[in-house]
Amino acid sequence: MMLYVVIVYLWVALLLYLLLGGADFGAGIIELFTSEDNKAKARKILYHAIGPIWEANHMWLIIAIVILFVGFPAIYTTMSIHLHIPLVIMLMGIVARGTAFAFRNYDAVTDNMQKVYNKIFVYSSFITPLFLGIIAGSAVSGKIDVHADTFLSAYLFSWLNWFSVTIGLFTVSLCGFLAAIFLIGETREPDERKRFVRKAWQMNIAAVISGGLVFVSATSDKIPLVQWVFGNAVGITAVAAATVSLIILWYLIIKGRSKSLRLLAGFQITMILLTTTYKHYPNIVILKNGGYLSLIENRGADKAIEALALALLIGSLFILPALVYLIYSFQKRDNKGSLSET
Amino acid sequence: MDDFIAARSQMALSLGFHIVFSCIGMVMPFFMAIAHFYWLKTKDPVYKNITKAWSKGVAIFFATGAVSGTVLSFELGLLWPNFMKNAGPIFGMPFSLEGTAFFIEAIALGFFLYGWERFNPWFHWFTGVVVGISGILSGILVVAANSWMNSPSGFDYVNGQYINIDPIKAMFNAAWFEQALHMCIAAFAATGFAVAGVHALMIIRRKNIKFHTMAFRIAIVFAAVAALLQPLSGDISAKSVAKRQPAKLAAMEAHFKTEKFSPLIIGGVPDTKTKEVNYAIKIPGLLSLMTYDDFNAEVTGLDRIPEKDQPPIAITHYAFQIMVALGMLMLALALVYLIALFKKKNWLTAPWFLKLFVAAIPLGFIALEAGWTVTEVGRQPWIIQGVMRTADAVTPMPGIRYSFYLFTAVYLSLSLVVIFMLYRQIKMVPKMYDVPISNPAISKS
Ligand code: HDD
Ligand code: HEM
Ligand code: HEM
């Protein structure tokens, strides 16, 4: 019982990281692909939109990690060993991005250093989700070989393959898409709105293309992705629901509405995560030669799982109301239009 | 550099870096809350300016503390997978609770930084206090995890298997209270002296004297109280080390020979060949007295500990000497401040007095790093005292030294940037906060 509580929290933490953290990365990605003169504006809207909840965003990742190492240590350590290199690169991205974000907002002097912070911020906003996707892709790619005897096969080809890389690119475009949708809701002027709608469109196309590439590379890497996604009712339903909601989303955008866009986009990402994890459950790591690491078989001691579940449940009692109130207060502020700063 | 040493160095570097940021992130909110309280009470805008100036510092440190902490939670697995595989479920309890504490801290910080003029002023003030309290809680929790490595409990180790796991018992292990107490006081002492010193420097340079004097006063009171308490808490820690890790205590003291009426060895150069400590001051019987409250108690020396279970003696000994010496120095500074405050008011503005505190800027942080060196190096060769050796915990991946070089480069440049940012922050104080009293329009805001 408690085991399932923990698993649900793990999934939700990943989902929320993908949604909230993803929108946050995506904002940097959009900035990367925005022309020079529009950058400053995009940045300002972005800062007002994510500033207050920014600190809380990457907590979801930490929670997922803690759940893994307390509840499923064998999975955590296998990934740590065989995906060491992409994990380190992702960490570098997180460090660079987090500090650049803080510096550009809190630096007392505004001068050329801002340019440096911005550069670091946008590039690391690209690198971090790219490698996050690569890590997620590698986990299910069946390329992790725990019996490998050469450096390359044990530590490099475990993640450096077409499938993982295309999943990385797909993640990047999803983040960009989320951010564009999110920012549409933040804009006040028609011009700005138009700009973000165009960005959302571009990111949507990028997601479709990279999503297609994922299927192509899956075939060439002999990964039965089509069967995972379409081979079961849940997968098909989720894909259908995501498609329908995408159509509704674009209909609403064209109609000039801003309400519910975020919910729809969030819903799509949820469906995508659901399809990709459902068929695997409970095996979250697929190894070379058909082995796998299951959440059920690799759970830690019962007492540890129990304590972890309790900690998560009690923690939520404190966190959720506070987080909701935080988002609510600043949403209210923005609607009033008074953008008072620190 | 061999990979095992590289992994240890990378862990030490990351923690040594994180600890500085997290201690500041843990303590500064309290300074802020005091200044903020005075602003709400007295409506003196200088207090508001101090609060705002400090809150920018907190934001910078929080962000760097958070990213370096995120790195750590991955590094435990990246560097010590065999340790985490077994220890994760046992000592994970504090980490899972810590998640909640961090979260609340981050949320409260969001309210605080972005909440000026948005909320009821006292609610806003309270969110700042919550930042501080949850910061302290996370500090206590993570130290409880570390103390489990010094004093493992909450499981049985049978034939290489970890069974009967009890995470709650593991969290409240024999060392958690002493370590957490000592750590929290250390954070206040280190941050307090550093902040006070920076403001003292500004007073000497005759910049915004009012602003910096008020800021100095808030920081130094925390620092002085902490410095008075620290030796007491250190004594409690030493007694607890004697019980749970005699090898560590022996290394700290460079105490080679088991004997009754053991001398306290101060300073000196331990020679592992001759088993002598040269050039040291020895106070007969004091070690026995301090560790067991009894002159005649026998204190285990390194001779009772097999060579393969001994920690590096010289490093542990020097680090301990440095910590204690700096602790005594800070105690003396605290006394000087108290004398000035109650007896010799004219000292408070004297240049020599201010210079003394400028010189003290780094002391607390040096002591902090030295203290952790004692704890961690003194635990070697064990990663879990008496249960698992560090060498058995390290990752099988080769080439860790390159990762170590990379992390070193990143942390070095990060430190430089943070120092640069703080320098700019302080340099901007006159422009941003030095509002002539004759301009009420601005000073009110
Ligand atoms: C401002 C920093 C600072 C200062 C002035 C002191 N310490 Fe300390 N000490 C620490 C900062 C610290 C620390 C970094 O916070 C440690 C590392 C782990 C811990 O729990 O606290 C520590 C550990 C530590 C330990 C090892 C605990 C263990 O392994 O469990 C002992 C025995 C002492 N200290 C004793 C002292 C004594 C007798 C001091 C006398 C003045 C002293 N410390 C001052
Ligand atoms: C922030 C304060 C800390 C500092 C400065 C610190 C410092 C160090 C140092 C110097 C080492 C290397 C020891 C050696 O190679 O001889 C080390 C190792 C290690 N520390 Fe700490 N430590 C701190 C806190 C912690 C905490 C809170 C944990 C875990 C909860 C921890 C876990 C480890 C681990 C797993 C190792 C590697 C194994 C070992 O060498 O023992 N440390 N740390
Ligand atoms: C004695 C050692 C440590 C102390 C006192 C300490 C304390 C703290 C504090 C107070 C914070 C809040 C950040 C801030 O306010 O600036 C923090 C952040 C963090 N620490 Fe540590 N920490 C220590 C070691 C560790 C270790 C060993 C880990 C990982 C295993 C870790 C993981 C984290 C994480 C993930 C964060 C980021 C949380 C966030 O995003 O807010 N810390 N630490």
Average pLDDT over residues B413-440: 69
Tell me the ligand closest to B134's alpha carbon. 3
Query: How far, in Å, is the centroid of ligand 2 from the Cα of B144?
Result: 13
Task: Quote ipTM for the complex.
Answer: 0.84
Please answer yes or no on whether A303 and B165 come within 8 Å at the CB atom: yes
Distance from CA of B211 to the nearest CA of A (A): 17
Query: How far, in Å, is the centroid of ligand 1 from the Cα of B323?
Result: 7
Q: What tens digit of pLDDT does each residue of A28-73 get?
A: 888 888 777 677 777 777 767 666 666 667 788 888 999 988 888 8
A268, two tokens: 């799509």
Residue-averaged pLDDT of chain A: 80
B314 against B303, higher pLDDT = B314
pLDDT band at B16 (very low <50, low <70, confident <90, very high): very high
- Measure CB to CB from residue B71 to each of A51, A91, A103 and give the nearest one: A91
In ligand 3, which atom is closest to the CA atom of B24?
16
pLDDT greater than 70 at residue A338: no
Query: How far, in Å, is the centroid of ligand 1 from the Cα of A166?
Result: 50
pLDDT greater than 90 at residue A330: no
Contacts of B103 (CB under 8 A, 6+ apart): A56, A59, A63, A315, A318, A319, A323
Overall number of domains in chain A: 1
Query: How far, in Å, is the centroid of ligand 2 from the Cα of B12?
Result: 6
pLDDT band at B426 (very low <50, low <70, confident <90, very high): confident
DSSP B263: P
CA distance B170 to B141: 12
Please give the span between the terminal C-alpha atoms of chain B, in angstroms, as a whole number.
Answer: 57
Q: Could you give phi then psi for residue A320, rounded to 5 degrees? A: -60, -50
Average pLDDT over residues B383-398: 87
Picking from A6, A106, A305 by the largest number of B CB atoms within 10 A of its own CB, the best residue to mutate is A106
- Protein residue with least CA distance to atom 6, ligand 3: B139
Q: With CA atoms as reference, report the closest residue to B330 among B213, B222, B201.
A: B222
pLDDT band at B443 (very low <50, low <70, confident <90, very high): very low
Q: What is the pLDDT of residue A337?
A: 43
Percent of chain B with pLDDT over 70: 96
**Chain B: residue whose CA lies nearest to A63:** B99
Whether B109 and B128 have beta carbons less than 8 Å apart is answered as no
Q: What is the pLDDT of residue B227?
A: 94
Q: What is the pLDDT of residue B433?
A: 62
Q: Which 3 state secondary structure label does DSSP give B383?
A: strand
In ligand 1, which atom is closest to the CA atom of B151?
30
Please answer yes or no on whether B76 and A312 come within 8 Å at the CB atom: no
For residue B8 and ligand 2, the question of a CB distance below 6 A is answered with yes
Q: Ligand 3 pocket: which of B131, B142, B176, B368 to mutate (most atoms <8 Å of CB)?
A: B142
Domain extent for A239: 2-341
Q: Which 3 state secondary structure label does DSSP give B396?
A: coil
pLDDT band at B194 (very low <50, low <70, confident <90, very high): very high
Please answer yes or no on whether A69 and B88 come within 8 Å at the CB atom: yes
pLDDT band at B188 (very low <50, low <70, confident <90, very high): very high
CA distance B345 to A275: 72
Please answer yes or no on whether A95 and B395 come within 8 Å at the CB atom: no
Q: What tens digit of pLDDT does each residue of B71-89 get?
A: 898 999 899 998 998 888 8
pLDDT greater than 70 at residue A340: no
- Measure CB to CB from residue B99 to each of A62, A330, A340 and give the nearest one: A62
Distance from CA of A81 to the nearest CA of B (A): 6
Query: How far, in Å, is the centroid of ligand 1 from the Cα of B113?
Result: 33
Distances (CA, A) of A232 to A178, A264, A282, B124: 27, 23, 15, 51
The pTM assigned to this predicted structure is: 0.87
**Chain B: residue whose CA lies nearest to A90:** B71
Q: What tens digit of pLDDT does each residue of A165-208 get?
A: 988 999 998 888 888 888 887 777 787 788 888 888 888 888 88
- Protein residue with least CA distance to atom 33, ligand 2: B11
A286 against B436, higher pLDDT = A286
